[in-house]
Amino acid sequence: MMKLAGQANEVGILLYPGVQASSVYGLTDLFECAERVAKERGRDGHVDFRLTHWRPDQLTGGLACAYDTKPGALPRLGFLIIPPTLSGFPHPEMMGSIADWMRQLHAQGVTLVSVCTGLFVLAESGLLAGRCVATHPRCAKDLSHRFPGILIDLERRLLDDGDVITAGGFMAWVDVALLLIDRMLGKATRAETTRFLGADPAARKARYFAGFTPLRSHHDAAVAKAQDWIHHRDGRGATLVCLAEVAQLELRTFHRRFTAATGLTPAKYCREVRITRARELLEFGKRPIKLIAESLGYEDVASFARAFNKVSGMPPATYRKRFGLGHSGPTTYL
């Protein structure tokens, strides 16, 4: 297989049998709208972003590129989105070559992103065993039956493990698109795109901060193991000693290799993960801020608010009011 991984700002969308066409078109329109917004914000009109569509190729038995916004150069995916089905669940017999392809992409550092029933496609790869995932409530029973090793969290609309992102709920592909736009093109572009859609007229006035995109293409297996441990626990309890033990490395060796591979020290990486998770919970859920603080290991709401405000430039309640997609009514702290 040719190497298709390497660029964080390249997104692929998987076109498998039974995929919901409206979500594919909607994702495509949203990303292209965001690219236009980013170009308008830039001085030279150039934006480092590329979108591709991929479908099974009966002749080769692999996957072929069916759509490309920048044809010519070899694609280097940073993210692959698996959209939902229109009705029913994907049949496992259709997924053999697709599952192999996803496993290879994942090994190259591509982040795999499922939306609602697209989770069944991703699950066929075996990469979700032992993970906690988000999906639509109507999928939970069938998913548990087909893949008993997967844990399901129906309280969260979106879960980000760094190498895998899962989302569920009505129109969850919008949540996914805006999250990735934030990661690739910045919070300002995400806010302008949201405003263009009519969702948040006040968003353009916010003080923006860049999203966190974990570096996964370093091919250091010990560091990747520690990254997985951090993401699965939302950065909680991730002491240097504990992480070195997970990676099975001596302390100084682990610190050096982790920093070289990810570009961040273990402590800074864990802080990024905690704040990123906090943003997701504020944007995509209705959980009270006190419970968010507790779930992320903060001593109290005040310490969480200080940490969040230091990074984002605004308190958690203000952030939720401006960017929360699943929030309605007054913000609750308790």
Burial 51-71 (b: 16+ CB within 10 A, else e): bbbbbbeeeeebbeeeeeeee
Q: Is residue 196 domain-resident?
A: no
**Domain annotation covers residue 289:** yes
Q: Identify the bridge partners of residue 112 per DSSP, sorted by sequence position.
A: 80, 164
User: Is 199 part of a structural domain of the chain?
Assistant: no
CA distances 8 to 3, 15, 105, 194, 287, Å, are 14, 20, 13, 21, 30
Q: Any idea what the CATH number is for the domain that residue 122 is in?
A: 3.40.50.880
- Whether the CB-CB separation of 116 and 135 falls below 8 Å is answered with yes
What pLDDT digit, counting tens, does each position of 175-185 carry? Answer: 899 999 988 88
Identify whether residues 155 and 230 lie together within a single domain: no
Across the chain, which has 334 residues, the per-10-residue mean pLDDT values are 61 91 92 88 71 85 87 88 78 73 91 92 92 85 89 84 87 88 87 70 40 74 90 87 95 94 90 87 85 90 90 87 61 45
β-strands 50-56, 63-68: how paired? antiparallel
Asked if residue 64 belongs to a domain, the reply is: yes
Helices (H), the chain: 21-41, 96-107, 118-123, 140-146, 172-185, 187-196, 221-232, 240-247, 251-262, 266-284, 289-295, 301-312, 316-323
- For 247-298, the pLDDT digits (tens) are 999 999 999 999 999 889 999 999 888 888 898 888 877 889 999 999 898 9
Examine residue 5 and state whether it is found in any structural domain, yes or no: no
What kind and span of H or E run contains 167?
A: strand 164-167
The CATH number linked to 330 is: 1.10.10.60
User: Range of 87's domain?
Assistant: 10-182
Reduced to 3 states (helix: H, G, I; strand: E, B; else coil), residue 124 is: coil
Q: What distance in Å separates the CA atoms of residue 208 and residue 187, rounded to the nearest whole number?
A: 6
Instruction: Tell me how far the alpha carbon of residue 262 is from its chain's centroid.
Output: 17
**How high does pLDDT run on average in the chain?**
83
Domain presence at residue 204: no
Answer yes or no: is 267 within a domain. Answer: yes
77 three-state secondary structure: strand
pLDDT reported for residue 249: 95
Q: Are residues 141 and 225 in the same domain?
A: no
Do 291 and 156 share a domain, yes or no? Answer: no
